A = this chain, B = another copy of it.
């Protein structure tokens, strides 16, 4: 299913091709997040036009609303949301442990209360896989426990043990035709736990491996270290997915560390704050400084927003609360991520990734928040 086409000579960056029931994906790839069956503010035509190869849907959210009865009646998630290309579904583990009120962690899953209406629900390996089978996603994820980055060593070990046990259970469940299943390596920044988790999952045998327990509030250096710790044990011939990451510069750095697949809510989230990603870092479009700035969001960008509208107009739209402003920032930010991945693939293919990476990271000015987190981590 995964074909490794080329490995960079200067780093662990890889060019690959992942075959799924709904199409072939060129990696490294960025997946747009469509948690509730819609990539926020963007329609499927726009997604295809901007080069989206695969989107992410969420088991927890979709199984609560609209509920599986409706998605089943619609003939699966692709048909329900009218998206003909690949979909990866999260297992719901992350949401159960972060959004829901947990009542009891049991041997075969978690009893919890819905974050919406408090109703009592149960999700475990068996349930998560059954839902993903019905959703009919191209790639299903195992049901894991994603511990907080503030967990004690004891909690971390328990989470890894459960994750491994649950992954084995997931492996045994029936799948949708052609559906791939990825394991998720947990273990925080503990080298021995990351190794243990990776080895156990590989022994169980999955179609690809994700690195979880990152993007949970830890500073950037810890995140990079966690990915490195896990990555070294992963089989070179299978796809690797770093869950929930990151800024554009982080994505380039993670590609260099051997990651093939990404998903991140940042393009949509910063759009809601009136912020746009560019190759030089993120910029606010909302501020007064843009009020008579008749340039596109980013010179040279080929997205719909940059081809049609000026910063001044978008700033006005954001300022008066017109939805088109949010839409266009979402379009630009998503296309920006996709374009970075396109350039990454071109650079690996043409053996210029080292140069591309150096330039990209040098030009990209991280936000104050990223810088502060880096400094805080360096101080420890």
Contact = CB atoms under 8 A, between A and B. Distances in A.
Interface in A52-82: 61, 65-66, 69-70, 73-74, 80-82
One complex includes copies of this chain to the number of 2
Nearest to A44: B308
B74 A310 contact: yes
A3 interface: no
B327 A43 contact: yes
A37 B312 CA distance: 12
Contact of A38 (B45, B70, B310, B317): B317
Nearest to A61: B320
B322 A36 contact: yes
A309 interface: yes
Contacts of A65: 316, 319-320
Contacts of A327: 41, 43, 323, 327
B44 A313 contact: no
Contacts of A73: 292, 294, 312
Contacts of A310: 74, 80
A40 B312 contact: no
Contacts of A315: 66
A69 B292 contact: yes
A324 interface: yes
Contact of A70 (B45, B316, B324): B316
A222 to B, nearest CB: 33
Contacts of A291: 66, 70
A40 B325 CA distance: 10
A316 B37 contact: yes
A334 to B, nearest CB: 14
A312 B74 contact: yes
Contacts of A38: 317, 322-325
Given A66-B291, A320-B36, A309 B74 contact: no
B294 A74 contact: yes
A66 B312 contact: yes
Contact of A313 (B61, B82, B326, B328): B82
Sorted from nearest, which 5 A-B pairs have the closest CB atoms? Answer: A66-B316, A38-B322, A41-B323, A38-B324, A36-B320
24 contacts: A36-B316, A36-B322, A37-B317, A38-B323, A40-B322, A40-B323, A41-B323, A41-B324, A41-B327, A43-B304, A43-B308, A45-B304, A66-B315, A70-B312, A70-B316, A73-B292, A73-B294, A73-B312, A74-B310, A80-B310, A80-B312, A80-B316, A323-B326, A323-B327
